Structure 1
Amino acid sequence: MSTARKAASLSLDASLLSEARELKLDVSRAAEEGLARAVKAEKERLWRIENAEALKAANDYVEKHGLPLAKYRQF
């Protein structure tokens, strides 16, 4: 599967970029991987905020009533 790629102009720490090039790292790939991790983390953070009320309600229910199928647990 081929991913569409687009050129981008970035400002990076000069010493970090120099070190990455000395180590023969693929700077574009490393930047893309780092950006992918940052996007994933932000989506997860926003999901937790958007669903905080439902998560709290579910946790409150379990705290008050216990797990719905607890009697069937084998551990």
Structure 2
Amino acid sequence: MLTWHATSAVSRKATNVTLPVDVYQRAKELGINFSRACEQALRQAITAEEGRRWALENTEFIKNINDWVEKNGLPLAEYRMF
């Protein structure tokens, strides 16, 4: 899985974000960095969506593996320490 890290060497793209007034005011009061918070939230959303899509695209494979394990048991189960 790709790990996302923000660095100063990464080029940036300015964008506008529309927020509810209460969210904007509270974040401003708390000194939250809007760009950093939005970036972190978007990275989490991207990761979640990529995972959802992978699972959807691999549904048949996952089902086949689960069926095989149900029928044959876990490979190397005899060596498990838990």
TM-score for both structures, normalised by structure 2: 0.82
Percent sequence identity is 42
Counting only pairs closer than 5 Å after superposition, residues 58-69 of structure 1 correspond to structure 2 as 58-69=65-76
Secondary structure of 1:39's aligned partner: helix
C-alpha separation in 2, matches of 1:26 and 1:70 = 48
Out of 42, 49, 55, the residue aligned to residue 62 of structure 2 is 55
Match of 1:5 among 12, 21, 30: 12
1:42 to 36, 49, 68: 49
Query: Cα deviation per residue 1:24-73 (whole Å; 9 max; x = unaligned)?
Result: 110111011111111110000001101111011001001011123233x1
What RMSD over aligned residues (CA atoms) do the two structures have, in Å?
1.2
How many residues get paired? 74
Cα shift at 1:74: 3.9
**Whole-Å separation in 2 of the counterparts to 1:39 and 1:32:** 10
Q: Which has the higher helix share?
A: 1
What is the CA distance between 1:11 and its match in structure 2?
0.9
Q: Distance in 2 between matches of 1:55 and 1:74?
A: 22
